[in-house]
Amino acid sequence: MSLERSDVENIAHLARLAVNESELDAVAGDLSTILELVAQMNSADTSGVIPMAHPLHMAQRLRPDEVSEIDERAHFQSIAPATEDGLYLVPRVVE
Amino acid sequence: MQWETVIGLEIHAQLATRSKIFSGASTAFGAEPNTQACAIDLGLPGVLPVLNREAVVMAVRFSAAIGADLERRSVFARKNYFYPDLPKGYQISQFELPIVGRGSVDILLDDGEMRSVGVTRAHLEEDAGKSLHEDFHGLTGIDLNRAGTPLLEIVSEPDMRSAKEAVAYARKIHQIVRYIGICDGNMQEGSFRVDANVSIRPLGGELGTRAELKNINSFRFLERAINFEVERQIDVLESGGKVVQETRLYDPDRDETRSMRSKEEANDYRYFPDPDLLPVELDDAFIDAALTGMPELPDARRARFCEAYALSQSDAAQLTASRELADYYEAAVQEAGDARLAATWIMGELAGALNRGGLDIGQSPISAVLLGGLLRRIADNTISGKIAKQVFETMWSEGGAADAIIQNRGLRQITDAGAIAGIVDAVVQANPSQVEAYRQADEKKQAKMLGFFVGQVMQASKGKANPTQVNELLRRKLNA
């Protein structure tokens, strides 16, 4: 499977990555090579192999349902670009 | 053309845990903005999510309640999209291996018919924060207190064919999550949110393009939003247009749905397993412990009420609408010793008073035991139903037990035939012209005129004379 320039543009946009026009072809080539590797792996017979969700063969540990965090708003908001009335301010998202 | 409506619902139930799904921050509603958003909820670098045991327990309980396939192994995935109320740039959700698989619930339709609605799946995920678009000098305010609150997203099959069916299904899920104590069900506060996927098709034809309706915060609005949307789609198709797949917001003030134009991209979430979380594996011991103390479920309780208390389907359904109400009813019956009477009073007098006061059953100033005590005195003829209403009002506004109020105010019913006969004699003597008229009248008229005398006797006895005896004695006296 090989990627077109437009695919790369779309993926870059979804990931909010700025890819220069001049780099598009090279990136498309690199990504296509990776996909070829995946395609090659896909051709292996994996029937009977349980899909792996995580490289560690362990199960998730669970924590008790207890409130353990205190309010650190002032601390966190000291690094925010803009705040008001306790809210984080961001550029308007709805037209 | 005959159109058929196809509806599927996605319900987000906030799980009633104390802390968040992946952090130890509080989930309490109504706190000052961002005071319950810790480093994990903010998605600061270097933090790791750790799964809340109770959220998993609640999902297991839900699975059992809808007879679903519980997945012993489930996996968390990242759902990637950019929005400022989602600080990490992805939502931790479940995609390929959700914790709750296929199940179903039965809904009771208006015509008394039962219908099964399929639940495709239910998965655990974290809630996002809230965006406040009011004026912050052209900026948007973000409150992340809600970010990381555990959600169970319950996805139905497109099994519903009308707004009413969709409402019945949503109510059923609402009832179940509240019965099993995993969600408070508060729609105003957003603890229980319903999104509707609505499409129409020619009767029996191929599925049409669907619109997703959001911003629905009551069952009434759910019905209206779907009905509006169905009409809109019919108009579009019948005028030669095409329905586009989009998200539409319901506006209750204008009772319409509107296309949501936001800067959000078309859905392309690029899910992948979250490397920060290991697969969740459930063994028998965990599942058994999670299911300990599961209450009787609404359907079973309704059936038992019909059987044990000789109630109609609809009365039983009404009395089992919530677990609190059903518990109240059973406690009242035990005290009153009369299931029918308890049903009548709880659905009548009590429901009316609660309604006027804007209270729910848990806030009733009259406890089940106290109400049962009052009903016992109707059942054993100590007071009439009419006097009982007075006692009820006193209990409602001033508190206290029925027996004490009956005693203190001398409301005990007069059943002594001699005492009633005395009052009857006095009334007959005091109204000679009415007595004469009565004696001249034919039987049909007499039956009507008797009411006047009964009224006089009841007034003279301050409502305490036993009405059956009054009628009997008056008839005898007047016909003498």
Q: pTM surpassing 0.95? A: no
**pLDDT score at B263:** 45
List of chain A residues whose C-beta atoms are within 8 Å of the C-beta of residue B25: 67, 69
Which two tokens mark B394?
């006193």
- Residue A68, pLDDT > 80, answer yes
Map out the domains of chain A as residue ranges.
5-43
CB contact under 8 A, B24 and A67: yes
User: How many CB atoms within 10 Å of residue B168?
Assistant: 20
- Residue B440, pLDDT > 70, answer yes
ipTM metric = 0.86
Question: Among partner residues B25, B55, B138, which is closest to A69 by beta-carbon distance?
Answer: B25
List of chain A residues whose C-beta atoms are within 8 Å of the C-beta of residue B134: none
Question: Among partner residues A65, A73, A95, which is closest to B53 by beta-carbon distance?
Answer: A65
CB contact under 8 A, B140 and A91: yes
Distances in Å between the Cα of B420 and the Cα atoms of A38, B146, B341, B414 are 98, 68, 26, 7
CA nearest B96 in A: which residue?
A53
Question: Among partner residues A14, A69, A89, which is closest to B136 by beta-carbon distance?
Answer: A89
CA nearest B94 in A: which residue?
A53
User: Quick check: A90 and B146 in contact, CB under 8 A?
Assistant: no
CB contact under 8 A, B51 and A63: yes
| pLDDT tens readout for residues A25-39 | 999 999 999 999 999
Residue with tokens 């054993």: B380
Widest Cα–Cα separation across chain B: 100
Comparing B277-286, B365-374, B424-433, the range with the smallest average pLDDT is B424-433
User: Quick check: B193 and B209 in contact, CB under 8 A?
Assistant: no
Name the pLDDT band for B262 (thresholds 50, 70, 90). low
Q: Answer whether A81 touches B (CB < 8 Å).
A: no
Nearest CA among B292, B298, B316 for reference residue B65: B298
Name the pLDDT band for B475 (thresholds 50, 70, 90). confident
List of chain A residues whose C-beta atoms are within 8 Å of the C-beta of residue B89: 16
